[in-house]
Amino acid sequence: MNASNLLDKLPPVLRRRPVLFGAAGLVLLVLVILWLRPARPAVEPTAYYEVKRGDFTVSVVEGGTLSAVSEYSIRSEVEGTARIISIVPEGSYVKKGDLLVELDSASAQDQVNQQQINYEKAKFSVEQALAQLEIQKSATNSEYLAAELKLKLARIDLEKYEQGQRLVDLVEASNKLVQAQAQLMVNMDTYRNSTNLAAKGYETKQKVDSDRLAVLNSANALIVASNSIWMLRQFDEVKQAETYRAAVLQAEQELDRVVSQNVRKMAQYSADLITQSNTLALSEQKLERDKKNLAATIIRAPQDGLVVYPVSDSHFSSESLIEGGAIVRNRQELIKLPDLSRMKVVIKVHESHVNMIRPGLPAFVMLDSMPDERFRGVVEKVAPLPDTQSRWGNPNLKVYNTEIYLTDTLPNVKPGVSAKAEIIVTNIAGAISVPIQAIATYQGQPAAYLVHGHRSEPRPVEVGMFNTKFIEITKGLKPGDRILLSPPFEAREKDLEGSVLAEGEKAGAATNAPPRTTPPAPAPGLSSGEPAAG
């Protein structure tokens, strides 16, 4: 810095009247010069980092809970709600058939008793409907036989008239006509003889009148007989034939009517029997369900195992705690019997790391109760969607449930133990890596500050994988380079007004700068392992 520049930096009062101050002004001038002189960077050796090549391990570390891979869930099978009368203490080891839970059975017993009565009523109704059906079968059969007999008799009467009775009636009428004709001839001869005898004086007038009356009667009888034959042929035969045919037709119609009525009645009684039978079946099913419901108030162990009470993952769950006197709903989980032969650890992986995790990756599990032991495992499953429960209280937090199955045999530990899992994402051999805090953003690009003596200059770099402490450098640095562990504050990017940009604002600090590849900020969960020296 030359003298003119130094004077330019003096306050206006000092520039206008430098002579007036004398020795005091000289001292003040020296102090100002010392204050304005740039200090030489005196960086401790620990402020530098020498770039090295070595093996670089990328892993994700998260805490979780130990649980069984498979577990038998004991749930309340009682309909509605029920109160817990007694329950086996949590942590107890039970054998198959041991009593686990006893629920209040008073309501279930009342339902069984009431349904038993309903079942007996339905059974009696079925028996009645069956008896009514049998009675109706007999009645309809009798009605059908009567109608069928009536039709048969009507047909016989018609056949009898057409083939016999009509001829008999005609013969009788003809005989009467012949008799009337013969009687008329006889009476006429008698009258003629009596008339001749009376003329000779041998017969009385009374006798002649009597014979004449007989002739008149015979003539009338002949007329009646002749008219009877005519009426028989003209009217009576037709009338009788139509009468018998109508009787046959009526009998046929009555038989059809009886058949239709019988079918309807039988269908009605059969439907009533089916209805009563269905009612009985439903009543029986309800009785069996109520009995099953009553039996469900006593819950026994289906297998040997350790008793574990369930814990709801929801912050808004309204389910009661599992304890004596608590009211539980139907299908509510009461007890878990985990299979301790296979265990797993469920962790929650942050969204910034989930793309690195996939099934099949090796992992190590450390139990909080056994911090010196490491157990091997493998990633079995990664949830495809974020865990919604973990976003309660922090909507921006997105984590993914990840299951790690342990392949090593665990000692006698119980589910629910806190654990920490380290998932080995990859091992990069011969990688160049630097501390992650040594990488800053310069003109929209990741950069490291290369040290030259007492000076430092930004060096653009390209980054790769990272963990909590170190980040891989794929281009821009070489082994032996020295970089600042912490970039200088005054070297950080500033906006147009001179304010230091926040981490999220640096991307737009340099105008017309190409898009940067910002080194990912260390998110919770990455391992802190350092790279091995090359």
pLDDT at 452: 86
pLDDT at 489: 61
Closest CA to 33 of 74, 67, 2: 2
Instruction: Report d(CA 171, CA 341) in Å as an integer.
Output: 115
Instruction: Report d(CA 301, CA 215) in Å as an integer.
Output: 125
Identical fold between 62-96+307-424 and 108-295:
no
One-letter amino acid for residue 494 of the chain:
K
Q: Which residues pair with 349 in a beta bridge?
A: 400
Cα-Cα-Cα-Cα torsion 234, 239, 244, 250, nearest 10 degrees, comes to 140
One-letter amino acid for residue 436 of the chain:
I
Domain ranges of the chain: 1-38, 62-96+307-424, 108-295
Query: Tens digit of pLDDT for each residue in 321-330?
Result: 888 899 999 9
Q: Which two tokens stand for residue 375?
A: 């157990």
Cβ atoms of 534 and 53 closer than 8 Å: yes
CATH topology of domain 62-96+307-424: Elongation Factor Tu (Ef-tu); domain 3 (2.40.30)
Q: Which residues pair with 472 in a beta bridge?
A: 433
* Total Cβ atoms within 10 A of residue 200: 7
Where residue 292 falls among pLDDT bands split at 50, 70, 90?
Answer: very high
Instruction: Report d(CA 428, CA 233) in Å as an integer.
Output: 130
Where residue 514 falls among pLDDT bands split at 50, 70, 90?
Answer: very low
Task: Out of 3-7, 81-85, 244-248, 254-258, pick the least confident.
Answer: 3-7
pLDDT at 314: 54
CA angle 449-451-456, nearest 5°?
60
Across the range 393-401, mean pLDDT stands at 86
Cα dist from 230 to 12, 167, 220, 237, whole Å? 167, 14, 15, 10
User: Kind and range of the H or E element at 450?
Assistant: strand 445-452
Length, in residues, of the chain: 534
SS3 content of the chain, % helix, strand, coil (to 5): 45, 25, 30
pLDDT at 313: 58
DSSP per residue, 455-479: EEEEEE-EEEEE-SSEEEEEES--T
Q: Across the chain, what does the average pLDDT equal? A: 81
Instruction: Report d(CA 427, CA 107) in Å as an integer.
Output: 64
Cα-Cα-Cα-Cα torsion 125, 130, 134, 140, nearest 10 degrees, comes to 70
Match 């984590």 to its residue by tokens: 399
Structure pTM?
Answer: 0.55
pLDDT at 190: 87
Q: Which residues contact 460 (CB under 8 A, 6 or more apart)?
A: 442, 445, 446, 447, 476
Q: What percent of the chain has pLDDT over 70?
A: 81
Where residue 202 falls among pLDDT bands split at 50, 70, 90?
Answer: confident
Query: Tens digit of pLDDT for each residue in 221-242?
Result: 889 888 888 887 888 878 888 8
CA angle 254-259-263, nearest 5°?
145
Gap between the terminal Cα atoms of the chain: 45
Across the range 425-450, mean pLDDT stands at 91
Instruction: Put residue 437 in one of left, alpha, beta given phi > 0 → left and psi -120 to 50 → alpha.
Output: alpha
Backbone angles phi, psi at 144, to 5 degrees: -65, -45
3 state SS of 152: helix
Across the range 123-132, mean pLDDT stands at 95
Across the range 316-322, mean pLDDT stands at 64
In CATH, which of 3.40.50, 1.10.287, 1.20.120, 1.10.3720 is domain 108-295?
Answer: 1.10.287
pLDDT at 66: 93
pLDDT beyond 80 at 503: no
Cβ atoms of 327 and 82 closer than 8 Å: yes
Where residue 46 falls among pLDDT bands split at 50, 70, 90?
Answer: very low
Query: Tens digit of pLDDT for each residue in 325-366?
Result: 999 999 999 999 998 889 999 999 999 889 989 999 999 999
pLDDT at 199: 85
pLDDT at 320: 63
pLDDT beyond 70 at 55: yes
Cα dist from 351 to 60, 385, 401, whole Å? 12, 10, 10
Cβ atoms of 470 and 58 closer than 8 Å: no
pLDDT beyond 50 at 375: yes
pLDDT at 100: 95
pLDDT at 41: 44
* DSSP code at position 369: T
Q: Which residues contact 371 (CB under 8 A, 6 or more apart)?
A: none
